[in-house]
Structure 1
């Protein structure tokens, strides 16, 4: 049995967080079309704007807001796009998150992955239970 509720997601975050998520995700989609060195430079500049760290609960809400906004886009929004959008949305809210690129080791396969991280707290909005380990190759 299929219902509308199964295909729709509840709104995540406050109105201000959803606006920052929409703008951050749009900027992320533009930045990922540029050469990667420019993307890295602009993320480092954006991280200087946000001086205060996010609390883990607030960061989870921001990740959920970016994923909610991303579901309404007609383009592919995967880990790279959503994590970069989350970091940029946090910078728009004058907060600080770290953008991490690396690998995620799950029980059988290994896959490349990108995620947002609070310094000293680990990945935000990621499933880390059940043997999933995130190994960082580069933090920006």
Structure 2
């Protein structure tokens, strides 16, 4: 994550968002820490099937903010991989769909990054002052 995204103040959102954010983040941390990556991608694909309705940009931003808010209160390290997967899983709990993307920053310096994006749209809460500089290697 870039420094701008790291220090962005997030909002917790409504209680329903907070609860789903905690559940999604808990599932994401458990999956990423305990299972091989192929099982994580299978879980993300399964979550995409449960999330049949596309999200509105405002709701997607609120959910990503809620997951980041929960991540700042989490007792272990939570980075872009955990927050993006947590947002995708939290949205699936509500029957809505986000796309999970894993890729790299293409402008120097090269960085690996993961983010959530709207199906058919752009990344959610990932723009920096210089614009979007990431290239997806995996989209689920």
Tell me the TM-score normalized by structure 2. Answer: 0.88
Larger radius of gyration: 1
Unaligned runs of 5+ in 1: 1-8
Number of aligned positions between the proteins: 132
In 2: Cα distance, 1:105 partner to 1:61 partner: 27
> Could you tell me how far apart the structure 1 residues matched to 2:54 and 2:42 are?
20
Root mean square deviation of aligned Cα: 1.6
Structure 2 residue runs of 5 or longer lacking an equivalent are: 1-8
Contact kept? 1:22, 1:66, Cα under 8 Å:
yes
In structure 2, how many angstroms separate the alpha carbons of the residues matched to 1:45 and 1:92? 11
Partner of residue 122, structure 2: 122
Calculate the TM-score normalised by the size of structure 1. Answer: 0.88
Give 1:52 shift: 0.3
Matches within 5 A, 1:61-140: 61-106=62-107, 108-140=108-140
Q: Secondary structure at the match of 2:67?
A: helix
Cα offset, 1:46, TM superposition: 1.2
Deviation at 1:92, TM superposition (A): 0.6
Q: Deviations 1:34-58 (Å, cap 9, x if unpaired)?
A: 0011111111111100100111111
Q: From the two aligned structures, give the one with the greater strand fraction.
A: 1
